[in-house]
Amino acid sequence: MKIALIGLPKSGKTTIFNALTKSEIAVDKYLPPADEENIGIVTVYDERITRLCEIYEPKKVVNAIIEFHDFPGIFGKQDEHPDLRLMTNIKNCEAFALILRGFPDAELDSLHGKMDPVRNLESFMDEMIINDMVLVEKRLEGIELSYKRGVKTAAIQIEEKTLRMILGHLQENKAINSLELAPEERQAIRGLQFYSTKPVLVLLNVNENDINTPNEALEKIRSMGYLAEAIAGSFEAELSLLDEDEAKLFMADIGIENSITDRVSMLSYNLMGLISFFTAGPKELHVWTLRKGSNAVTAAGKIHSDLARGFIRAECFNFTDIDTHGTEKALREKGLFRLEGKDYIVQDGDILNIRFNI
């Protein structure tokens, strides 16, 4: 999964990227925006892995990962030419973590505008929506041209209808992700890359002494329907360079239990409606990521397309059962070792063994 860290200039994106990925990329108030995005890969922590390793003693563990892409502050600068390559890279990410400045700094106020997280969020979303509108309008012009040339297939007509509906929605200043689209409409626009289709996690970057005080802006942002959390960016970046025990002491001081990486990973899973399932054996324990509500065939397809194609059934039990009873043998004896068909909805923590035939 790729998550783009984006936001207005100097909101603390790189600081938070450093904290998330234990990197030490230079941050400075006066640095011009970088030319490139920074990329870092983190392992998604799952406490169930330790227990599963005790039970299966696998030779190898394959964890779920998240790729964080830290983009320079290229938004909020309508006067300049946008860097199209960076904008495309942003759209190639599956979700956005939008970093808002929530720490006071008089110099940054005068250089980049007053600290006002709610307004910054609104202007940021406006910019996403305007960019999407431009894209829709360009594509509609292209479709008009095709019509003039006599190309008027059913597919292109569905696309036009869908785009007009999207345009109306955007003109009401609403993000595309709040619009219900039928599968064929979704299919019709799959070639176009929008901003406002992406799920957005809002991270309000505050000073460490503000992390536990009620934050009006954060509450307001949540009431607007966003998944939002306050993060003490600079403090977390310093913590990420300490060893784990030392970091824990400082975290306890301000009442944080989990590392920033674990918290943001968990929020990202919630944001995108993701769950984990496992395949487990003496050779390998593998954590797989799946959209909540997916069936056993979709899960099988995550492992290999052959498993989805030749799916017969899934041998299945949940982590909580093997955690309690210790062995697969005990689960069979207790009747907790299930055989599930194609339509079985995979649950978080399921351990699956796909039977297939091709």
Interacting partner of 118 out of Mg ion, ligand GTP, none (Cβ under 5 to 8 A depending on kind): none
Query: Cα separation of 209 and 112, whole Å?
Result: 23
Stretch that binds ligand GTP, among 46-54, 185-193, 230-238, 275-283 (CB under 6 A): 230-238
Q: How far is the CB of 227 from ligand GTP (least distance, A)?
A: 20
Angle at 45 between CA 44 and CA 48, to 5 degrees: 125
What is the DSSP pairing of strand 227-231 with strand 95-101?
A: unpaired
Stretch that binds ligand GTP, among 13-21, 42-50, 143-151, 325-333 (CB under 6 A): 13-21
- In degrees and rounded to multiples of 5, residue 115 shows phi and psi of -70, 115
Choosing from 73, 117, 301, 349, the residue that interacts with ligand GTP (CB under 6 A) is 73
Does 29 bind ligand GTP (CB under 6 A)? Our answer is yes
Q: How far is the CB of 4 from Mg ion (least distance, A)?
A: 12
Q: By Cβ distance, which residue is nearest to ligand GTP?
A: 73
Buried b (16+ CB within 10 A) or exposed e, 83-105: beebbebbbebebbbbbbbbbee
Q: How far is the CB of 110 from ligand GTP (least distance, A)?
A: 14
Does 240 bind ligand GTP (CB under 6 A)? Our answer is no
3-state helix, strand, coil in the chain (%, to 5): 45, 20, 35
Query: Cα separation of 206 and 232, whole Å?
Result: 5
Choosing from 23, 123, 193, 207, the residue that interacts with ligand GTP (CB under 6 A) is 207
321, 337 contact by CB (below 8 A): no
Does 28 bind ligand GTP (CB under 6 A)? Our answer is yes
Q: By Cβ distance, which residue is nearest to Mg ion?
A: 14
Query: Cα separation of 17 and 309, whole Å?
Result: 39
Contacts of 147 (CB under 8 A, 6+ apart): 156
Choosing from 3, 4, 6, 11, the residue that interacts with ligand GTP (CB under 6 A) is 11
Interacting partner of 10 out of ligand GTP, Mg ion, none (Cβ under 5 to 8 A depending on kind): ligand GTP
Does 21 bind ligand GTP (CB under 6 A)? Our answer is no
Q: Which residue type occupies 273?
A: G
Q: Which residue's CB is nearer to Mg ion, number 14 or number 259?
A: 14
| Nearest residue to 21 (alpha-carbon basis) of 92, 69, 89, 72 | 69
Does 14 bind ligand GTP (CB under 6 A)? Our answer is yes
Helix, strand, or coil here: 42?
A: strand
Q: Which two tokens stand for residue 257?
A: 């239990």
Does 68 bind ligand GTP (CB under 6 A)? Our answer is no
40, 67 contact by CB (below 8 A): yes
Interacting partner of 41 out of Mg ion, ligand GTP, none (Cβ under 5 to 8 A depending on kind): none
Q: How many residues bind ligand GTP (CB under 6 A)?
A: 21
Site for Mg ion in 5-24 (CB under 5 A): 13-14
Binding residues for ligand GTP, per CB under 6 A?
7, 9-15, 27-29, 31, 33, 72-73, 103, 205, 207, 232-234
Residues of this chain that bind Mg ion (CB under 5 A): 13-14
